[in-house]
Amino acid sequence: MPTSTKTLDENVRDLRSLINADAAELSTRLRAQQLRDFPPAAQKSIRRFSPAEAARFIGIAEGYLRQLVSEGKGPPAPPNSRRSYSIEDIDALRSDLDQATLDELAAIGRGDVAAPT
């Protein structure tokens, strides 16, 4: 009675090809999931900051920050009137204050303004 039996070597080859096929399928599915979760064009953004946090980052009092905003420096108030500051807003305010300080120092150097005592 002839029986068809696979040799051990054939069984191992079949098992390896099955494992390789499953690994390839798993890799394809994981890559597709990764692209859905983290698309290539996705950008991470940083949260907005409260006035107290913004003032602390800039190194000024919160009241002075309110004064600067009332003078038109800084971002306009949003419709819901809850003011918050992006990192770009904070950087712009800091740059404005730095420039104002440099202008004041230059005026003192020229003698246009008396130096603070």
How many Cβ atoms sit within 10 Å of the Cβ of residue 68?
18
Lowest mean pLDDT among 22-31, 33-42, 59-68: 33-42
Domain ranges in the chain are: 7-39, 51-110
pLDDT digits (tens, 9 = 90+) for 45-56: 889 999 999 999
Average pLDDT over residues 85-102: 89
pLDDT at 1 over 60: no
Residues 6+ apart with CB under 8 A from 6: 14
